[in-house]
Amino acid sequence: MSESRQPHLVRRMIDGRRLVGAAAIVIVGLGALWWLDLPPFSAPAQKENRSRRADIQRTKVEVALSEKQVAGLKIAAVGQARFERTRSAVGNIDFNQNMLVQVFTPNQGRIIATFANVGDRVEKGQVLFTVDSPDLLTATSNLIQAAGVLVLQNANLKRLTETFRGGGGAQKDVDQVRSDQQTAEGNLRAARNTVRIFGKTEEEIDQIVQERKADSVLIVRSPISGIVTQRTAAPGLLVQPGNAPAPFTVADTSTMWMLANVIEADAPLLRAGQDVEVRVTAYGDRQFAGVITVVGAQVDPATRRLLVRSEIRDPDRLLRAGMFATFTIRIAAPLQDIAVPSAAVVREGDGSMSVWLTTDRRRFEKRSVRTGVQQGGMTQITEGLQPGELVVTDGAIFVSNKAFGVAGASD
């Protein structure tokens, strides 16, 4: 029996040793976790332990300059500046289509002569071209005939009236002649009005009646004062009313249009009636005043821009259709805020902005800032500076190069 129990005791001893070994491994592992300050396997990693670490601080950059180097800098206190809150857009100049007139002949005919060329300035009522018009010839012939009939009826009325007063004739004959005379007067008035529609003046109509000479020359005049922008008229060309293209096109250039494409984000800031200032490349910094007349109803799906039309006053008639232009519009009251000269701001390689401050005009410290609007050589500082602090306003690039050891930044 002792021999049969011996293997069983051996197995129990082996199992006990394995259990002790496993326990030892667990104890060693827990000790390692405690030593490394790691969470237990059963507990989730606690992120708040990492967040308690100090934030990464930006490296403080300072540089000391010699008196000779400082003498080449300009240092001034941070102040304030006035910034206009505006929006800008680009576009092109065009004719004011509301003041652009296509001049057609009122009746069919062939052009006899032209009296203006493209680019000429014409006044209202100035002759542009003449037309040999069969309709006008018919109208003046009817005028001469109506005038002759009226002369005859006047003579008949006078003769019968005198005869009736002398005791001869009958009243009904006088009444009939008087009716015929009144009809002749109405026909003459109608004939004169017909000829007047062709553009003839009262003096010209009287001359036609007096000379009894039919006139077929239809004179076409400019309906407005402006510039001839297009001409298709030529002697011998057959023209008809409303048949495009028009023989002449005349534009009143005292006002012009500017058609601008505004970014979608600025659309809520614009409305009809707002004043605009327009500049064109041809005239440098000269400004042309205008007003927004139309804000487009839809955004171009391809460019994501909105068409805005402005009417620009041009009393000197300097603008030309097709000129490239920019407009500026004020969207709010001016802003007074902390600012430094634009030369004081240094753009870093990562796109951030910085300035160089000093308290003793010998040692300079780099300060990161946030910038806003740039106008008139000044840059708005929205974060990073306080009024009264001394900054390098001219030579900031030199200080930056000196601080980082860039070649060329020496005495």
- Alpha-carbon distance values, 151 to 50, 51, 145, 328, 375 (Å): 117, 115, 10, 70, 82
Q: How far is CA 104 from CA 194, 232, 239, 249, in A?
A: 18, 11, 8, 9
153-188 per-position pLDDT tens digit: 888 888 888 777 766 767 777 778 888 888 988 999
- Name every residue whose Cβ is closer than 8 Å to that of residue 331 and which is 6 or more positions away in sequence: 85, 86, 87, 269, 270
Higher pLDDT, 15 or 55: 15
Q: Do residues 231 and 116 touch, judged by C-beta distance below 8 A? A: yes
All structural domains of the chain with their residue ranges: 1-53, 62-83+335-403, 101-249, 253-330
Radius of gyration for the chain, computed over Cα atoms and rounded to the nearest angstrom = 48
Q: Which two tokens stand for residue 28?
A: 């060693």
Distance from C-alpha of 363 to C-alpha of 374, rounded to nearest angstrom = 28
Q: What class, spelled out in words, does domain 101-249 have in CATH?
A: mainly beta
Q: How far is CA 212 from the centre of its chain?
A: 59
- pLDDT top residue among 404 and 61: 61
pLDDT 10s digits, 256-276? 999 999 999 888 888 999 999
Q: With 80 as the cut, is the pLDDT of residue 21 above it?
A: no
pLDDT of residue 22: 57
Q: Give CATH for domain 62-83+335-403.
A: 2.40.420.20
Averaged pLDDT for residues 65-83: 91
Q: Is residue 51 over pLDDT 70?
A: no
Higher pLDDT, 364 or 242: 364
Percentage with pLDDT > 70 across the chain: 83
The yes-or-no verdict on residue 5 having pLDDT over 70 is: no
Is residue 78 exposed (0-12), middle (13-18) or buried (19+ Cβ within 10 Å)? buried
Q: What is the pLDDT of residue 243?
A: 87
State how far the Cα of 331 lies from the Cα of 157, in Å rounded to an integer.
79
**Nearest one of 288, 246, 262 to 103, comparing CA atoms:** 246
**Tens digit of pLDDT for each residue in 90-108?**
999 999 999 999 999 988 9
pLDDT at 77 over 90: yes
CATH class of 253-330: mainly beta
- Range of weakest confidence among 15-24, 70-79, 155-164, 394-403: 15-24
Each residue's pLDDT tens digit, 309-358: 999 999 888 999 999 999 888 887 888 999 999 999 999 888 899 999 99
Tell me how far apart the alpha carbons of residues 399 and 85 are, in angstroms, rounded to a whole number. 32
Per-residue model confidence as pLDDT tens digits over 193-252: 999 988 888 998 989 988 888 888 999 999 999 999 999 999 999 999 988 899 999 999
Q: How far is CA 235 from CA 43, 95, 238, in A?
A: 101, 28, 9
In what order do the strands lie in the sheet containing 248-251? Answer: 100-103, 248-251, 226-231, 121-122
| pTM (2 d.p.) | 0.58
Between 47 and 218, where is the model more confident? 218
Mean of the per-residue pLDDT values for the chain? 83
Instruction: Report the C-alpha gap between 118 and 228 in whole angstroms.
Output: 5
Q: What is the Cβ-side half-sphere exposure of residue 214, based on CA atoms within 13 angstroms?
A: 17
CA distance 348 to 371: 13
When mean pLDDT is compared across 44-58, 71-85, 154-168, the lowest value belongs to: 44-58
